[in-house]
Amino acid sequence: MKFTLENERGRYAIIYVTMAGLVLGLFYPLVANGFARPIAYVHGVSIGLIGGFLVGVIEFYAFKPKNRKFSFLITVITKSTVYSLLFIFLIVLLINFNESWYYNTNMIENFYSQRFQTFLYEGDFKVIVLYSLFSVIIIIFTREMSRKMGQGVFVNFLTGKYHSPCEEERIFMFLDQKSSTPLAEKMGSLGYYKFLKEFYFDVTKCIVANYGEIYRYVGDQVVISWSVKNGLKNANCIRCYYNVKNETEKQREKYLHKYRRVPKFRASLHMGKVIRGEVGNVKSQIVFHGEALYETAFIEKECQKLGLDILVSEPLLKRINLPVIYKKKQVGGIPVLGKDKPIKLFAVEETVLQPL
């Protein structure tokens, strides 16, 4: 299965890292004490732009999610080593190239010139390398912390966006395993934990590709959240479930070989208003509170009771421009405290379109 949304997000990530590198590169004259030399700006822009682009490409293609099975410390050390070697080579190459152009000499002559040798062994070379690595480590640390804490959470903590609670309209999906208790008994606690961990790891790219945000893991359940804009666009919140289903089927042989079973799960989707804010002192979290979450939990119980794979609330379906590949069917409703009418619930099925 080809994740075009994942590729789109990857391209944006490369652009963001490239722009960050360019901005940091503009400070090169400050580090190199070269305000009076126009060539210093050329060095800064070229190192920042090309270095940022290469870091972005390496982050997306070499260190993409499926390769992230190492600890935080090992990941940071590995990346730091890779980027150290990259920037040492890149700085020597680009500054040699820029000075060859600026002084109208060839690169070999410039490299062995007294000016360039002084720069390498007595000048600002070490300072520039350290500055470049410091900049990259800042970017790596921010990305890794963001990945560990959840999309956007780290930035929100830094900016204090949710220090004061605010009301938002959000879309929620409860994605939970079927028959979890019997499975845990058969596989044992450790075996079932490894099974769940592998499942969560495999489906994360489906969630990210459809612009979902992993809110939290609750036992054998993943709570996924979308902004209204991202969740409704292209029916991303519903596509996410079927992407997870297709990805799991794609990994069938692996699961059968390692665990002798394939993950089976159900999804319950709903939207509504919640309060989002930062709570806690010793351990802080950005959390949601509100009826929308409780109602999604009731929908999840109804989904389990009816034996369905996916159940979507009417308030959400009313807002979605449902693609033709999905068919909906009303299957009941749940009563809501303080409301006269129950929330209608719909099963959604993915159909195969016949060629014309």
Distance (Å, whole) CA 147 – CA 21: 20
Q: Backbone dihedral region of 33: left (phi > 0), alpha (psi from -120 to 50 degrees) or beta?
A: left
| pLDDT tens string 31-62 | 666 555 678 788 888 888 888 888 888 877 77
- Nearest-10 crossing angle of helices 252-259, 236-250: 60
Confidence at residue 215, expressed as pLDDT on a 0 to 100 scale: 87
| pLDDT tens string 107-129 | 999 898 888 888 888 777 887 88
Confidence at residue 3, expressed as pLDDT on a 0 to 100 scale: 43
| pLDDT tens string 207-232 | 988 989 888 888 889 999 999 999 99
**In the chain, where does DSSP find H-type helix?**
4-25, 28-32, 38-61, 72-102, 107-111, 114-121, 125-149, 153-159, 180-209, 228-232, 236-250, 252-259, 291-306, 314-317
3-state SS assignment for residue 108? helix
Confidence at residue 306, expressed as pLDDT on a 0 to 100 scale: 92
- Residue 146 near residue 68 (C-beta atoms within 8 A): no
| pLDDT tens string 59-103 | 777 776 544 556 667 777 787 788 888 888 988 999 899 889 888
| pLDDT tens string 126-172 | 878 887 778 777 777 776 666 665 555 555 556 555 567 778 899 99
Mean pLDDT of the chain: 82
Backbone angles phi, psi at 178, to 5 degrees: -85, 150
User: Count of CB atoms within 10 A of residue 49's CB?
Assistant: 16
Confidence class for position 317, pLDDT limits 50, 70, 90: very high
Domains of the chain: 4-149 (no CATH), 159-350 (3.30.70.1230)
- Supply the pTM of this predicted model: 0.69
Lowest-pLDDT choice from 120-134, 260-274, 295-309: 120-134
Lowest-pLDDT choice from 5-19, 298-312, 317-331: 5-19
Confidence at residue 334, expressed as pLDDT on a 0 to 100 scale: 83
Confidence class for position 7, pLDDT limits 50, 70, 90: low
Give the sign of the dihedral formed by CA 279, CA 280, CA 285, CA 290.
negative
Distance (Å, whole) CA 200 – CA 244: 10
Confidence at residue 93, expressed as pLDDT on a 0 to 100 scale: 92
Please report where in the chains the tokens 């606690």 appear, as a residue: 189
* Nearest alpha carbon to residue 315 among 338, 273, 337, 343: 343
Query: Is 29's pLDDT higher than 90?
Result: no
Confidence at residue 283, expressed as pLDDT on a 0 to 100 scale: 59
Distance (Å, whole) CA 144 – CA 149: 9
| pLDDT tens string 84-94 | 888 889 889 99
- Residue 342 near residue 336 (C-beta atoms within 8 A): yes
Please report where in the chains the tokens 């990346």 appear, as a residue: 79
Query: Is 4's pLDDT higher than 70?
Result: no
* Nearest alpha carbon to residue 176 among 59, 47, 114, 263: 263
Distance (Å, whole) CA 349 – CA 337: 29
Residue 171, H or E segment: strand 166-177
Per cent of the chain over pLDDT 90 is 29
pLDDT, average across residues 170-190? 89
3-state SS assignment for residue 309? coil
Burial 5-25 (b: 16+ CB within 10 A, else e): bbeebbeebbeebbebbbebb
Q: What is the dihedral of CA 36, 38, 40, 43, to 10 degrees?
A: 180
Query: Is 290's pLDDT higher than 80?
Result: yes
Confidence at residue 60, expressed as pLDDT on a 0 to 100 scale: 74
From the number of C-beta atoms within 10 Å of its C-beta (0-12, 13-18, 19+), residue 352 rates as: exposed
Pairing of strands 310-313, 326-334: unpaired
Backbone angles phi, psi at 225, to 5 degrees: -130, 150
Please report where in the chains the tokens 């949710």 appear, as a residue: 162
Query: Is 352's pLDDT higher than 80?
Result: no
From the number of C-beta atoms within 10 Å of its C-beta (0-12, 13-18, 19+), residue 95 rates as: buried
Confidence at residue 333, expressed as pLDDT on a 0 to 100 scale: 85
Confidence at residue 249, expressed as pLDDT on a 0 to 100 scale: 92
Distance of CA 264 to the CA centre of its chain: 24
